[in-house]
Amino acid sequence: MVVNRRASRVFASVPESADMTVAQNRAAPAVRGVEIDVSKPREPVAAVGRLRRVALIGNALPRRCGIATFTTDLRNAVAAGAPDLHTCVVAMTDGGQVYDYPPEVGLQIHDDDPRDYRSAADFLNAGGFDVVSLQHEFGIFGGVAGADLLPLLSRLAMPVVTTLHTVLAEPTAEQRDVLTRIVEVSAKVIVMADKARALLTDGYGVAPQKIEVLPHGVPDIAFRDPDGAKAALGYSGRKVILTFGLLSPNKGVEVVIDAMPAILERCPEAVYVVLGATHPKLVRRDGEAYREGLMKRARDLRVDTRVVFLNRFVDQATLLGFISMADLYVTPYLNEAQMTSGALAYSFGLGKAVVSTPYWHARELLADGRGVFVPFGDSKATGEEIAGLLTDDARREAMGRRAYASSRSMTWARTAQRYIAVFDAARAARPSPAVSSPAASPSVAPPAPDLQFGHLLSMCDDTGLFQHAVHSVPDRAHGYCVDDNARALLLACSLGQGERRLPDDLIARFAAFVQHAWNPDTRAFRNFMSFDRRWLEDVGSEDSHGRTLWALGACALGDVSPSRRRWAASLFLEALPSVEAFSSPRAWAFTLLGLDAYCAATGGKGAAGWMRRLLAARLTACLADTETWDWVWFEDGLAYDNARLPQALIATGHATGAPAQVAAGLRALAWLIPRQTAPAGHFRPVGSDSFGELRKPPRPFDQQPLEAAATISACLAAARVEAETDWTIDWMGEAQRAFAWFLGENDLATPLVDVATGSCRDGLHPDRANENRGGESVLSYLLGLAELRGTERHAQAHSVHVVPSAFNR
């Protein structure tokens, strides 16, 4: 993320969703830059009610693309229409590019850096903006289908109004998911065609009242005879056919070139002007091969003297001159699903007769005789219609005048007023909450609930903790497991001073279960035990072994009984060597968390220190081997207890002075957080339906308490090292947001816990909560709660304010 504080030349734009080619006239007046100063109160703007500050997210000039020109023009029009309304652009910068942005661009986001998106949310929240206007187009945001944008949106404290420049009729699963999440978090959605509204309501299930159809803006230029502009540009005596915009294969220019011999037979004075630079992405990939191919095509047809290619990125005044001199504008796009065309809107707004293929935007704008349609890719029909209009001056002029009259409601001044009205309605419907700033006093998070053990105690007998429950009644049919008894031992040993402790005889039962689970013959812990105390296996899973070592390490460090601390340390060392042969990254992570505690208790030399280095190196290598620009994770899929993997690296690297391990853990956790964030901003655990899927966005259900507890722990680990890093994520706020999932800030708005008894439901299905309250769930809740309470006590003891994230304000 780069905050733009430079003064530079000012650009404006002529919009085209995905294909415009324009820079601003240098003689245009500069627009005042935006400085964020949250320390000074701001008076409401009388012209627009209490709407005071609006930020736009999108591409911005001088980047050469349609979204850049649209975003810049919209900002300029809004600023001109409401001079006291502060506006600012957050510009998307494509990978590896550098742009000399004007001062109204307050900040830029590098599209391939996930950290920039989160930092941008901090910037916007701190700036006190009332509304964010998002310009959405596929391909300008990072991540799969632009998913890197979602963490930014979910962190904003103000309403979002999203302009969709493309709505796909047949999206990929990832595109549908991302667009659906963007729409969910948006207060209003703006589209520029009725077809887009129909696709959203019928294909995406968007409520009609959420959608506004606003036209693409056009300059307010007087209707002109083309002869004066022709003389100025050297085209006197010619009948000018014009196409403009960034040149790319989907524009269909070759169709008009193929039609030129027939056009010239009927209108010998015709000339076809193709104005615009080649699309930058096409140039980076293929150079000018496409343009050169078009020029060769014209030579082969012997029309090269009547096809003029102007490979230029022209300023606005020059562009308007070229449009003014045109007798006819042709837009022969090859794809029906073109939802918006700024080039078409501009030509229409200047009163030009248009010949077009029937793509969606053209079909609506040129209906009722305001233009002429030709079939896609049909050079014969294209030539006939163009020649017919060029040789019929009266028909052509009448069509242009109809277009000009129809476009008066589309001028940028009128379009901007409509946008302002939508912004104001969104702000009024959802007033922005107060946002903390450097000048404001920090907020104090509400205290976490008290720890209550009633349900946990009811789930225990003289053997240990039962695995499952039917509703809140212990289910003896499924017996016990070392996983849950190890978790219970971990909880007992994690309760700090000042907390109510578990009964000592109960802690002894958990320890006895762990001891009995150890199988010295196999050098492994058994996991599952039936109600009649029969082990159901000789060797448990690698993960259960690692989790048990974690509990033993915690017991060696924090048990109130010195005797149990010595027992735990001894069994830990006996069971540790088996981990060397393990292949499960989670088993490595659990063991590392146990080693963190064990080494704190004993010094961490010898075998323990060697194993710690080995497992940390393995986990770091897993991330390095699997990580790509859009998949920053240790495995090719997301499974359970995900956040424990980065937590283990953060804790280990912090304790051993290995900053590369800390950085790797933070990087993975920062990637995971937005994938566990719903569009509305609340915590959404990775759903169990995702398990087994490779490199795909997580499914939302079923949701399990285990994931919330893991995220709480990992974020608190990150918070403890944040002073040593340059991350701007509010890790404490993320931990609180994950804990709020237990209390009802979730997809179903359903509390999962009974704070009076400490019971916790087993999770969320798509339509309901799971009413069973088993051992893993209650321990997940209590472990998360205990960690948060411990952090609160530490903060209070050191006079540190715990500031909740924007989601909880």
Determine what percent of the chain is predicted with pLDDT higher than 70.
89
**Could you read off the pLDDT of 457-502 as tens digits, one per residue?**
999 999 999 999 999 999 999 999 999 999 999 999 988 666 789 9
DSSP state of 686: P
CB of 546 within 8 A of CB of 490? no
The reported pLDDT for the residue numbered 66 is: 87
CA dist., res. 163 & res. 274, Å (int): 29
Amino acid 46 reads A
Which tokens sit at 706?
Answer: 């285990």
Q: Which candidate, 426, 438, 443, places its Cα nearest to that of 158?
A: 426
CA dist., res. 636 & res. 623, Å (int): 10
The reported pLDDT for the residue numbered 466 is: 98
At residue 474, what are phi and psi to the nearest 5 degrees? -55, 135
The reported pLDDT for the residue numbered 513 is: 98
Determine what percent of the chain is predicted with pLDDT higher than 90.
76
Q: Is the pLDDT of residue 728 over 80?
A: no
Tell me what the mean pLDDT of segment 520-532 comes to. 97
Write the burial class of residue 116 (CB in 10 Å: 0-12 exposed, 13-18 middle, 19+ buried): buried
Tell me what the mean pLDDT of segment 375-393 comes to. 97
Q: Is 380 helix (H, G, I), strand (E, B) or coil?
A: helix
Our CA angle for 775, 776, 781, nearest 5°, is 100
CB of 51 within 8 A of CB of 78? no
CA dist., res. 700 & res. 687, Å (int): 5
User: String of b and e for 320-344 (b: at least 16 CB within 10 Å)?
Assistant: bbbbbbbbbbbbbbbeeebbbbbbb
For 213-258, give the DSSP string.
E-PPPB-------HHHHHHHHT-TT-EEEEEESSB-GGG-HHHHHH
CB of 310 within 8 A of CB of 234? no
Which tokens sit at 631?
Answer: 């998949």
Tell me what the mean pLDDT of segment 349-357 comes to. 96
Strand-by-strand arrangement of the 528-529 sheet: 466-470, 473-481, 528-529
CB of 122 within 8 A of CB of 88? no
Lowest-confidence region among 17-26, 502-511, 729-738, 760-769: 17-26
CB of 390 within 8 A of CB of 328? yes
For 794-805, give the DSSP string.
HHHHTT---PPP
Tell me what the mean pLDDT of segment 715-722 comes to. 92
The reported pLDDT for the residue numbered 439 is: 29
Place of tokens 């990254």: 585
pLDDT classification of 681: cutoffs 50, 70, 90 = confident
CA dist., res. 620 & res. 81, Å (int): 54
pTM: predicted TM-score of the whole model, two decimal places:
0.53
Tell me what the mean pLDDT of segment 298-325 comes to. 91
**Could you read off the pLDDT of 15-36 as tens digits, one per residue?**
333 333 333 332 222 222 223 2
Long-range contacts of 562-566 (CB under 8 A, 24+ apart): 564/507, 564/508, 564/511, 565/601
Q: How many CA atoms lie within 13 A of 560 on its CB side?
A: 15
> What is the rounded (10 degree) CA torsion for 11, 17, 21, 22?
-20
Which tokens sit at 434?
Answer: 């107060």
CA dist., res. 151 & res. 697, Å (int): 14
Q: What region, left, alpha or beta, does residue 30 occupy, with left being phi > 0 and alpha being psi -120 to 50 degrees?
A: beta
Our CA angle for 688, 693, 698, nearest 5°, is 55
Mean pLDDT of all residues belonging to the chain? 88
Tell me what the mean pLDDT of segment 117-129 comes to. 88
Q: Is the pLDDT of residue 729 over 50?
A: yes
The reported pLDDT for the residue numbered 68 is: 94
Q: Is the pLDDT of residue 84 over 60?
A: yes
**Could you read off the pLDDT of 638-652 as tens digits, one per residue?**
999 999 999 999 999
CA dist., res. 8 & res. 2, Å (int): 15
The reported pLDDT for the residue numbered 441 is: 32
Which tokens sit at 197?
Answer: 């509204």
Lowest-confidence region among 54-58, 616-620, 713-717, 745-749: 745-749
CA distances, 604 to each of 179, 353, 464, 572, 651 (Å): 50, 81, 30, 12, 14
Strand locations in 142-203 (E): 160-164, 188-191
Q: What is the CA radius of gyration of the chain?
A: 32
Work out whether the CA dihedral 99, 103, 104, 110 comes out positive or negative. positive
What's the length of the chain?
809
**Could you read off the pLDDT of 408-459 as tens digits, one per residue?**
999 999 999 999 999 999 988 753 333 232 223 333 445 678 899 999 999 9
Bridge partners (DSSP) of residue 703 are 764
Q: Is 454 helix (H, G, I), strand (E, B) or coil?
A: helix
pLDDT classification of 315: cutoffs 50, 70, 90 = confident
Q: Is 86 helix (H, G, I), strand (E, B) or coil?
A: strand
